[in-house]
Chains A and B, each alone.
Chain A
């Protein structure tokens, strides 16, 4: 009897499950394409930011966008390396629909030796009708290139 190797989706979901904060928020993997990852944040009463309207809190969308951007960077790199957010800009266009989960899709459109650049959008059904947009830059190999001999490499 043979066991199938885990799919990319299973790997990304396992990475979410290994991240305590992503697990606490209930983030889940949705789909994957090269350098593109889609994730979902669930609607839960404890994640509400405005008790009058019942709209999910902005910081939950922030965490979803940060996490999906990081996953897109990892998916765009040939070798698995740790990444760390350098900066994250988010525009909030409108409140998320009450009672519904929020999807986010990130595209890592450029990877250099030290930095990766990502765009992401959060929405319920249609990316053209966004809840929020994000642009982010990530440091690759968050050891900061401090491996032995790193200072001897010719600079470009």
Chain B
């Protein structure tokens, strides 16, 4: 793997995420340790999709996975603009409990125009994911 175009620090990446109005509304944050990017979603009652269980909304888990994919592509490529989603395929593996959720993504293939990305979300244990995403993202021409 080649190094990113320019070193990116956590504060710069967080500012980029916070520039997205929906990211602020959603309440998602990130942590960058070395080259490992983790998206963090603290629990809020407004994220619930099934109040009886209770469980996080499928759209919440999907959004977190998509943020992980988009931000990871943005980090790896050092592009000014975040990539655009072409398609996503989400497997829901277990219901999201009312607690903090984390997500990480890996770029499985990066072409000239398209990046192929996999992401996983988990809550209590990294090895026990609650959902997985695979998707394709359109890279914006520089």
- B22 pairs with A49, CB closer than 8 A: yes
Interchain CB contact (< 8 A) of B51 among A20, A57, A63, A91:
A20
- Chain A residues lying within 8 Å of B56, measured Cβ to Cβ, are 21
- A92 pairs with B89, CB closer than 8 A: no
Asked whether A67 and B59 contact (CB < 8 A) given A21-B47, A46-B24, A51-B20, the answer is yes
- A88 pairs with B20, CB closer than 8 A: no
Bound state CA distance, A19 and B51, in angstroms?
A: 7
Bound state CA distance, A50 and B16, in angstroms?
A: 11
Interchain CB contact (< 8 A) of B48 among A21, A25, A46:
A21
Kindly state whether residue B114 has any CB partner on chain A within 8 Å: no
With an 8 Å Cβ cutoff, the count of chain B residues facing the other chain is 36
Bound state CA distance, A135 and B49, in angstroms?
A: 19
Main SS class of interface, B: mixed
Asked whether A62 and B59 contact (CB < 8 A) given A21-B48, A89-B90, A142-B95, the answer is yes
Query: Interface readout for B27-39 with A: 1 if CB under 8 Å, 0 if not?
Result: 0000000000000
Query: Interface readout for A70-94 with B: 1 if CB under 8 Å, 0 if not?
Result: 1000000000001011111111100
- A24 pairs with B49, CB closer than 8 A: no
- B57 pairs with A88, CB closer than 8 A: no
Interchain CB contact (< 8 A) of A19 among B20, B22, B48, B88:
B48
- Chain B residues lying within 8 Å of A50, measured Cβ to Cβ, are 20
- Chain B residues lying within 8 Å of A18, measured Cβ to Cβ, are 51
Bound state CA distance, A37 and B31, in angstroms?
A: 39
- B20 pairs with A46, CB closer than 8 A: no
- B66 pairs with A58, CB closer than 8 A: yes
Kindly state whether residue A66 has any CB partner on chain B within 8 Å: yes
- A91 pairs with B66, CB closer than 8 A: no
Interchain CB contact (< 8 A) of A20 among B25, B47, B53:
B47
Asked whether A89 and B63 contact (CB < 8 A) given A21-B57, A51-B21, the answer is no
A4 to chain B, nearest CB (A): 27
- Chain B residues lying within 8 Å of A67, measured Cβ to Cβ, are 49, 57-59
* 25 pairs of residues in contact across A and B, judged by CB atoms under 8 Å: A18-B51, A19-B49, A20-B47, A20-B49, A20-B51, A23-B46, A25-B59, A47-B21, A48-B20, A49-B22, A50-B20, A51-B20, A58-B85, A59-B26, A59-B67, A63-B58, A63-B60, A63-B62, A64-B59, A85-B58, A87-B90, A88-B90, A89-B90, A90-B88, A92-B86
10 additional A-B residue pairs with CB within 8 Å, beyond A48-B21, A91-B86? A57-B22, A59-B26, A62-B59, A62-B88, A63-B59, A67-B58, A67-B59, A86-B91, A87-B89, A88-B90
